[in-house]
Amino acid sequence: MIRIFIALLFSTFLFGQSDDVSVQDIIQAMDDNLNAKSRVMTRKNDCSRPSI
C-alpha cells in the first residue's frame, strides 16, 4: 500500500503542469468565471415573495 502511495506521489510530480501559473492568472480566470454570461444565479430564500 505504501509503495502505491509513493508511486502515485512521484507520478504527480512527473506528469504535473509544465507551465508556471502566476497568482494573477488564477485571479483572472476566477474573475472570468464569475462574470460569465452562462453563469446561473439562484436564490435559496426569496424574500420578495411571501411564502404560502
pLDDT at res. 31: 84
pLDDT at res. 47: 58
Q: Are 11 and 4 in contact (CB under 8 A)?
A: no
pLDDT at res. 51: 54
pTM here is 0.36
pLDDT at res. 7: 86
Alpha-carbon distance of 13 to 42, in angstroms, equals 39
Q: Are 17 and 11 in contact (CB under 8 A)?
A: no
pLDDT at res. 18: 59
Averaged pLDDT in 10-residue chunks for the chain of 52 residues: 86 70 85 73 60 55
pLDDT at res. 44: 63
